[in-house]
Structure 1
């Protein structure tokens, strides 16, 4: 959500502007019901009026040395990152940890090592909104994880780690690994320790929660440089001896990652996609899709919290009401976020009482503080749907995509259905410094208290 809007004029608006709390959106449905996108974005701009004079663009560090740019970036992020305390970020420790790698890469002019270190730095901050964006990985990703061992694993609630996929014709299959086999060790160490030590810097959608991080670590355990070897310990069935299997990582087009994607239950190469927009394109060209399931249940998938999502969503809900649909399924399993108020507005069609949605803040460079710029409320629609509602989520439900489930979790309206939780990345994303060779980083420049 790029909300660094510099408009200074405060127009007549659906929200109520006050000096104490900024813009008060007493009913977040109003600007979407009005169906005037231009007016709405003017109102969003007006909410930044208290700090607009102090807003500046992120610095362009592209002409600095790699080490100097990294130092400047860390200073910038320490000043402006919205969740330092909440996420437990130690900026001095981060700089001390990764600055030597940047310096070594600079000395040898190793662009792959430089980019890899930047990814490691961003990965150390448990926030899906802190990312490094670059059109080129300089071959680092393929060098690190271009090979696969021909099988994938998952950890059960019991703590057991089992093989969940074995590729046909792979060395793993030839070595006798089968679906459901328990993996107990990895290169001589307990497999749980190996999973914990696995890097996930190449995860395309960066997780923000402990659960999401663990999920990605399991996926990347069985990736390695092409040609790398591993010794895998397989638990013994009853009345037989345990065994070890030696495997060599082979180039497979990231097959084990494609096969273990939870991307709406479809096989999707979510590693070769570089952005959320590219991932969305694998699923749908639409922002909202609707259909009727067996028994008359209405299914509504929302892929992005964009302004133009509200009207088709509203139409689908009203159609469900008119047809007395026995239930509605709202699919947010790949909702990459967007407009904060939209999540609140969508929830308004199902709640039975007003629900506080959020306070929004943004960093003010003039004061060094994060003033409250707006307050939002979810107001129940007078013609709301009152039947059962199921909301589907996944770790690819990100940012504002988590807003509607948040309202449901707090209000008790509707059931949230998922194997795993949402991404856990709340925040107002702003572009960070441009880095040499003019890569970009991104960080939350504002925060929302929900």
Structure 2
């Protein structure tokens, strides 16, 4: 992966960085509080380049930039002073020792401390993360609804399998600490993902994952009951390089095909299914994405399907306009979607603006983005399947579906809880770059919507798939022919 690229999975509403100046139109007198519309301008913030500064100076500049532009500092109650007091001394020590990895690790700790899935690094960060999670114990763990923690993944021939831990084994203790406590205490600093964590739900998933990943050669003591209930047994496992097998196997369900992100079919049950894998693509235009979704809707409605399932798992977001247009297939009246409260580098404050469809100018100030009904409208029940890898504008589609009288959301877990607009950014020394949101999505009351606060946010399923041992073991296999969440969505539609 190119060292200078930003991971697109977590970039939402990318149009914010595609143009430097937005033209202003006078529209129906709705131009703001007494500001002359002929002179009022909107300037997109540039990605700041601190790469040629000294390390401490670059950190100080980045910290000042975050305080100035980050859109959710107050909403998430970020204590900037406390954060700086914790991180800055580490930066000073790293620069004094010329320890580049320590320097970047300190800033990684800074960004990980802010719970927002839109705060993300370019792929160079994996060079810092990887040595700390290169080893695995050959097992993955997951929490169940009954409070137990089981091994739902076991690598053939790995350390856990050699120690006779099997799939379904209940993990009781980790290094002599009760498993629930051990999970709550483990750091997610080395999460194998460049983005921060927004919700408590995702944090716990990543903490189970973190216990199972360590530097190669690390020893951990595990107390467990086998799946047949025998035991308890205590073994010491040594982490080995498994070529990222456990990292992969413990990841969330994601069957998105980047080359063909929108797919449709009629399931054996007779229900319609659309995989909506993205709302932005480097290779497919927004018009093409919309047309592919429209074609899918036409196909399903022409076949009179009794219900439609929209699969948003693994959808990293993209265009809000596209999200609202897609929602229009299920709405009969114009409906509010959001206000876009964006950082204006000209005035150095957040302002509500509505960009044009082609992102080349501003339609007006203080105007909402609405869901506009499409000529084709589906009136049957609609179900969205989500997980924490449903990020940003994908969460907006889930929101629009959940708000329907006949709309529902299904999943083991909720969405990512990161709904802001990414447009802020900084280049750091040593080839690293960080992106962050400098815009907010507001509801009709002009309050922040969906972004997490105190670990709670996103779209919560109204139909929770039970986290039983059998379900979580099946889920971990990621077998398309035995998709637990999809099966639950079908079963729910059948129950209506």
TM interval, shorter chain, is 0.7 to 0.9
Instruction: Report the counterpart of residue 275 of structure 2 in structure 1.
Output: 301
What is aligned with 2:418? 425
Separation in 2, partners of 1:348, 1:397: 20
2:395 is aligned to 402
Match of 1:9 among 23, 31, 34: 23
Change (3 A) 1:51 1:96: farther
Is 2:198 aligned against 1:208? yes
Q: Structure 1 residues 320 and 50, CA, compared in 2 at 3 Å: closer, same or farther?
A: farther
The alignment's TM-score, normalised by the length of structure 2, stands at 0.76
2:95 — aligned with what?
Answer: 106
SS in 2 for 1:87: coil
Deviation at 1:292, TM superposition (A): 2.7
Q: Distance in 1 between matches of 2:231 and 2:314?
A: 44
The answer for the alignment partner of 1:257 in structure 2 is 247
The answer as to 2:294 corresponding to 1:322 is no
State whether structure 2 residue 158 is matched by structure 1 residue 170.
yes
Aligned partners of 2:24 and 2:41 also within 8 Å: no
What is the alpha-carbon distance in structure 1 between the residues aligned to residue 301 and residue 29 of structure 2? 34
How far off is 1:391 after superposition? 1.2
1:348 counterpart SS class? helix
Partner of 2:475: none
Q: CA offsets per residue over residues 17-39 of structure 1, 9 Å max, x none?
A: 83149xxxxxxxxxxxxxxxxxx
Aligned CA distance change for structure 1 residues 321 and 187 (closer, same or farther; 3 Å): same
Give the secondary structure class of the aligned counterpart of 1:99: helix
The count of corresponding residues between Structure 1 and Structure 2 is 405
- Seen in structure 2, the aligned counterparts of structure 1 residues 17 and 63 have a Cα distance that, compared at 3 Å, is farther
Unaligned runs of at least 5 residues, structure 1: 22-46, 267-279
CA distances 1:133-182 after superposition (whole Å, capped 9, x unpaired): 243544x3232111001111111122211111121112211212122221
User: Does the residue aligned with 1:113 lie in a helix, a strand or coil?
Assistant: helix
What whole-Å deviation, never above 9, does each CA across 1:381-414 have from its counterpart, x for those lacking one? Answer: 3530112222111111110111111112233332
The root-mean-square deviation of aligned C-alpha atoms, in Å, is: 2.6
Q: In 2 relative to 1, CA 213–241 (structure 1 residues): closer, same or farther, beyond 3 Å?
A: closer
> How much does 1:354 deviate?
3.7
Secondary structure of the corresponding residue to residue 437 of structure 1: helix
Q: Structure 2: how far apart are the matches of 1:303 and 1:316?
A: 13
Q: Pick closer, same or farther for the CA change 1:17–1:58 going to 2, 3 Å.
A: farther
For the 8 Å contact 1:220–1:257, the answer to whether it is kept is no
Is the 1:155–1:161 contact (alpha carbons within 8 Å) kept by the matching residues of 2?
yes
User: Could you say which residue in structure 1 is the equivalent of 2:59?
Assistant: 70
SS at match of 2:210: helix
Retained in 1: the 8 A contact 2:51–2:427? yes
Distance 1:100 1:316, change over 3 A: same
Consecutive unaligned residues in structure 2, runs of 5 or more:
1-12, 281-285, 355-367, 444-496
SS at match of 2:438: strand
* 1:284 is aligned to 2:258: yes
2:31 aligned with 1:19 = yes
SS of the residue 1:417 aligns to: strand
